[in-house]
Structure 1
Amino acid sequence: MKHVFSIALLVLSATALPLAGHAATALDASLACNESGHQFIADLAQQQLIEATPMRVESNSINAFKPAKSADLTAFGFHVFAVVGFEKDDPMFRTGDGEPLANSAYGAVVWGSDSSVQEAVTQAGSTAAIVHHVAPHVTAIFCKRN
């Protein structure tokens, strides 16, 4: 999973803070890991909360999407600066040149330490979400199915 979130450094330089006055959209329910990568990404794209085209595709086929400029996405109280997803054999996603991470995977990359994000996810009662350290104060909340 090390390179799953190498997009974080790219996104850090490309992310703008959300515009003031926009209500935040919480992704908490989706991060209970009860849906597919397709459903997660398709719903966000349909609501125009993310850019429809991935900004980056990892070798393990994880596609990284940037939130729309007008979107203010949160996950368990943390600001989301990228969402990631993949669904095997789904034309919505581009494939990388390596082995896919899972048949279906999705998640959010947030500003926050791994310990504080893990605490928030645990307090919310999410037992399936994987909390993964990306960089100092950058953490991924991830769901996957094989």
Structure 2
Amino acid sequence: MKQPARSVRLLASTLIATLPALSHALALDAQLDCKSNAHAFIAPLLQQHLIEEKPMRVEKNSVNAFRPAKGTELSAYDFRVYAVLGYQKDDPIFTQGTGEPIADSAYGAVVVGLDSAVEAKVRAAGSDAVVHHVAPFITAIFCKQD
């Protein structure tokens, strides 16, 4: 019985330790209102060196995943951003995948948080972004336009 209690304490202390960092993180909330496009979302982050220049991954559907730059803290709806996502047709910022592109323009963020908690915050902010479970404690917030 002692092991689960220790795990809970470790998890709680880790979460508490990350809270001060999030209070100083650059918030992407306003950009995730789904009223923009991938270029307008990604280009300023690249210009300000807030994300890595090269995507860490390009999906078959052309979604490019960019890692936050070293020393940069990004947040979305108070959740730490693991990656920002984007693709815009005929835009040299993005690498096209091997399959059919997801849309002419799509963008979003992958955050560390439960999908139900992320969904609640996204809806409370008035965004109609798609909230998608990726893995335990990993959730995508995604906007796409055809």
Q: Contact 2:64–2:95 at 8 Å: present in 1 too?
A: yes
Identity %, equivalent residues: 60
* 1:117-141 residue CA offsets vs partner (Å, 9 max, x unmatched): 0011111121x21101101110000
Instruction: Say which structure, 1 or 2, has more relative contact order (CA 8 Å, 6+ apart).
Output: 1
- Alignment-derived partner of residue 77 in structure 2: 76
- The residue number in structure 2 matching 1:138 is 138
Q: Which secondary structure does the structure 1 equivalent of 2:29 belong to? A: coil
TM-score (norm 2): 0.83
CA RMSD of aligned residues (A): 1.8
Which is higher, the Rg of structure 1 or of structure 2?
2
Q: 1:113 to 1:22 in 2, by over 3 A?
A: closer
Gap regions ≥5 residues in structure 1: 1-16
Structure 1 runs of 4+ aligned residues shifted over 2 Å read 20-23
Q: Which has the higher helix share?
A: 2
- Ranges in structure 2 where 5+ consecutive residues have no aligned partner: 1-17
Contact residue 22 and residue 78 of structure 2 kept, 8 A? no
1:1-146 maps to which residues of 2 (within 5 A)?
A: 23-126=24-127, 128-146=128-146
**Aligned length in residues:** 128
Asked whether the equivalents of residues 22 and 71 of structure 1 are also in contact (C-alpha less than 8 Å), the reply is no
